[in-house]
Amino acid sequence: MSAVHPVLRARRRKEALRNLAFLSPWIIGFAVFFVYPLLSTVYFSFMHYNGFNPPTWTGGRNWSYVFTQYPLFWPALRNTLWLVVVTVTLRVVFGLGIGLLITKIRTGAGLFRTAFYLPYLAPPVAATMAFVFLLNPGTGPVNHLLGGIGLPTPGWFTDPHWSKPALTTLALWGIGDLMVIFMAALLDVPKEQYEAAELDGAGRWARFRYVTLPNISPIVMFAVVTGVIQTMQYYTQPLVAGKVASGVIGNSGQQFEPGYPDKSTLTLPQLVYNLGFQRFDYGSACVVALVLFVLAMVFTALLMRRRSGFLTAED
Amino acid sequence: MTHMTDTAPAPGAASRRTAHTPDPRAARAARRRRTLHWIAVHALGIAAAAFFVLPFVFVVLTALMTDNQALTRSLWPHPFAWSNFRTVWDTPGFLTWWRNTLVYSVAGTVLTVVSSLPVAYALARFRFRGRNLVMVLVISTMMLPPQVVIIPMYLFWTKQLHMDGTLWPLIIPMAFGDAFTIFLLRQFLLTIPKEYTEAAKVDGCGELRTLLTVIVPMIRPAIAAVALFQFFACWNDYFGPQIYASSNPAAWTLSYGLESFKGAHHTNWNLTMAATVLVMAPVIVVFFFAQKAFIEGVTLTGVKG
């Protein structure tokens, strides 16, 4: 240690200071807006606190309340799992399909691409309100069209069996980002591999199965894991859909039935809001927040595995 | 990275192939197969486009209907009630929400980009112990649902700093780097050869000056992309304003205020949809001016840089 030349040591110190200076915004932000609140969340999860009286220690009571008595926890977890499995699967299949389609389109490709991409940009509240209107069972144009060609006309956001499929449809509408990512990956598949496969007599399906899929598998993995994380965070769309479909007026602060209809649109992030900001039970809200944290981190760990192609080796 | 051009074959390609085919019948069959394929692909494309575009069409058509007509099943507005947009625009609060949204989005974007740039630069260029750990932590915070830390954050901003009913609790944190912006800028920076910055260093440039005079002009498209993402993240944010601004309608944003157009007794779908159009419109207008930056940014989130 002492063998390090003083000049070298001085330079190292200068470099360390420089690194610290460049990283300082993030370091401060990480400490103040991540580490501190996360530790506080753990702390509050063992406290009884309503924001007015000073917090008091309750041990595991918030935890047992959330898991055994809070009537919304298990439905929300079940809904989240449903949405994760169904929405993510459909998003990947549909996104890949749209990606494949756009690489095949010759005439007006730019127009098609814009059409497929635009909904991704629609503000979630606006998109949700639009879909609640479009899928309105009585006056909405979708059931009008479905009825017109003799198909069943579901209740969509007003029917607990159809509200999650309606949310999934809304999610599929905003698939533009995935389409672009899949398209870039598809165009990166080496052409020679297709030609070689064709010489071997491979048909369309065989070429897709043995050339395309292996080449884009890291992107499929990326789409699955980011999709899981996004769906777990689903907040604005299910909340606004439930509120608007149930007829609650605006932001008047009027209490609404959480997860309307029949808890079917509840997701975990909504419970944090319900417990913390409507029932002022900050301790229990922190329990749900920690459940959400553990779930998010499990999937983030998966994403950072080598195979996902997400963290690039920069050397 | 950007294979945005059509992959249509060169004009001569087809005729060359025909020239090598001795049997004109086989050539005709091949041509017919190609035509059928073209038709099938484009028919599928139009069906898909209908799914993506029709919601916009119905929203605009409903925005132009009268209150009574919006409650019927007819799809085409008669008469065209252009005054709906006027009504929404003149609604008390609407212009305030518009201004709040703009302030939140612009301030948020500027602060985020300025504070994230040096961090991304350090993570892409400097070698130091713990760099990978920092990267892992950045990505972890990027994936974190905002609800996880909202309880202590809310108590901190409102009980200690008394900023309830303002957008400050949303704007101030943006001066401390944003994980997604840092991640995306770093992905861009990794694609720039080290030789450029090394040359500047040989000329005696310090790191900060290298960043500002060499790197920033080179990654202008990247900065445009992350700025747009951040701008729309703020523009679209619902949860943040709901937590901090809900108690004070003068601090609401468009995304949060939008629900108020539902009317007092029943949903005024025509006004609601007119308001929806007015909230979506800026996003769409900006997109048409900055398509390339957007698409490059999206591509870089998912593909190796």
Angle of helix B291-302 relative to helix B179-190, nearest 10 degrees, comes to: 90
Min CA distance, A47 vs chain B (Å)?
13
A285 touches chain B (CB under 8 A): yes
Sequence-distant (6+) residues with CB within 8 A of B95 are: B89
> Residue A72 to residues A269, A270, B118: CA-CA distances in angstroms?
12, 10, 44
Sequence-distant (6+) residues with CB within 8 A of A271 are: A70, A72, A73, A76, A285, A288
DSSP assignment of B84-125, as one string? Answer: HHHHHHHSTTHHHHHHHHHHHHHHHHHHHHHHHHHHHHHHHH
Sequence-distant (6+) residues with CB within 8 A of A185 are: A99, A215, A216, A219, B302, B303
**In whole angstroms, what is the distance from residue A78 CA to residue B43 CA?**
38
**In whole angstroms, what is the distance from residue B284 CA to residue B273 CA?**
16
Q: Which A residues in the span 37-96 are in contact with B, Cβ-Cβ below 8 Å?
A: 37-38, 40-41, 44, 51
Contacts of B44 in chain A (CB under 8 A): 101
* Both structure tokens of A84: 């994760």
Q: Angle CA(A129)–CA(A130)–CA(A133) in degrees, nearest 5?
A: 85
A82 CA to centre of own chain: 13
Query: In a mutagenesis test of the A interface, which of B148, B210, B265, B269 is the best target, namely the one with the most A β-carbons within 10 Å?
Result: B148
Single-letter code of the amino acid located at B85: F
pLDDT of residue A305: 72
Which chain B residue's Cα is nearest to A40? B152
- Comparing CB atoms, the residue among A29, A184, A292 nearest residue B147 is A292
Query: In a mutagenesis test of the B interface, which of A11, A18, A19, A26 is the best target, namely the one with the most B β-carbons within 10 Å?
Result: A26
- Comparing CB atoms, the residue among B51, B119, B232 nearest residue A25 is B119
* Both structure tokens of A81: 């799992």
pLDDT of residue B14: 46
A241 CA to centre of own chain: 17
A18 touches chain B (CB under 8 A): yes
Q: 3-state DSSP call for residue A252?
A: coil
Q: Which residues belong to CATH 1.10.3720.10 in chain B?
A: 93-300
**In whole angstroms, what is the distance from residue B288 CA to residue A9 CA?**
53
**In whole angstroms, what is the distance from residue B141 CA to residue B151 CA?**
16
Q: Do A251 and B256 touch (CB under 8 A)?
A: yes
Dihedral (CA of B160, B165, B169, B172) sign: negative
Contacts of A121 in chain B (CB under 8 A): 232, 283-284, 287, 294
**In whole angstroms, what is the distance from residue B92 CA to residue B128 CA?**
55
* Both structure tokens of B72: 């019927």
Contacts of B148 in chain A (CB under 8 A): 38, 41, 272, 289-290, 292-293, 296
Contacts of A273 in chain B (CB under 8 A): 147, 242
Please confirm whether the linkage preceding B79 is cis (ω < 30° from 0). yes
Sequence-distant (6+) residues with CB within 8 A of A14 are: none
- Comparing CB atoms, the residue among B44, B146, B260 nearest residue A251 is B260
* Both structure tokens of A150: 């003799």
A280 touches chain B (CB under 8 A): no
Sequence-distant (6+) residues with CB within 8 A of B286 are: B228, B231
Q: Do A236 and B182 touch (CB under 8 A)?
A: no
CA atoms in the 13 A half-sphere facing the CB of A299:
24
The conformation of residue A54, written as its DSSP 8-state character, comes to: P
Q: Do A296 and B3 touch (CB under 8 A)?
A: no
Q: Do A222 and B70 touch (CB under 8 A)?
A: no
Mean pLDDT (10-residue bins), chain A, 315 residues: 77 88 95 95 95 91 96 95 94 95 90 92 90 88 89 92 95 92 91 91 90 90 87 92 81 74 93 94 96 90 66 43
Structure-token match 């769409």, residue found? B284
**In whole angstroms, what is the distance from residue A241 CA to residue A265 CA?**
8
N-term to C-term CA, chain B: 8
Sequence-distant (6+) residues with CB within 8 A of B44 are: A101
Q: 3-state DSSP call for residue A315?
A: coil
Q: Is A201 left (phi over 0), alpha (psi -120 to 50) or beta?
A: left
A228 CA to centre of own chain: 6
Q: 3-state DSSP call for residue A57?
A: strand
Burial A213-245 (b: 16+ CB within 10 A, else e): eebbebbbbbbbbbbbbbbbbbbbbbbbbbbbb
Contacts of B287 in chain A (CB under 8 A): 118, 121
pLDDT of residue B1: 37
Structure-token match 């506080």, residue found? A40
Q: Which of A18, A188, A297, A270 is nearest to B303 (CA)?
A: A188
Sequence-distant (6+) residues with CB within 8 A of A286 are: A41, A42, A44, A45, A62, A276, B151
Q: Do A177 and B301 touch (CB under 8 A)?
A: yes
Contacts of B71 in chain A (CB under 8 A): 139
Q: 3-state DSSP call for residue A48?
A: strand
What is the CATH code of the structural domain delimited by B93-300?
A: 1.10.3720.10
Whole-prediction pTM: 0.88
Q: Are strands A56-57 and A47-48 parallel, antiparallel or unpaired?
A: antiparallel
ipTM for this model = 0.90
Burial class (CB within 10 angstroms; exposed 0-12, middle 13-18, buried 19+) of B5: exposed
Q: What are the residues facing A47 on neighbouring strands? A: A57
pLDDT of residue A162: 95
Q: Which A residues in the span 157-186 are in contact with B, Cβ-Cβ below 8 Å?
A: 173, 176-177, 180-181, 183-185
Each residue's pLDDT expressed in tens, for chain B with a length of 305 residues = 334 444 444 444 444 444 555 688 888 998 998 899 999 999 999 999 999 999 999 899 988 988 777 777 777 888 888 888 898 888 888 899 999 999 999 999 999 999 999 999 999 988 888 898 999 899 889 889 999 999 999 999 998 999 999 999 999 999 999 999 999 899 889 888 888 878 887 887 888 888 888 888 888 888 988 998 899 899 999 999 999 998 898 999 999 988 877 665 567 888 888 999 998 888 888 888 888 777 777 777 665 43
pLDDT of residue B91: 84
Maximum CA extent, chain A: 86
Q: Do B280 and A36 touch (CB under 8 A)?
A: no
Q: Do A26 and B298 touch (CB under 8 A)?
A: no
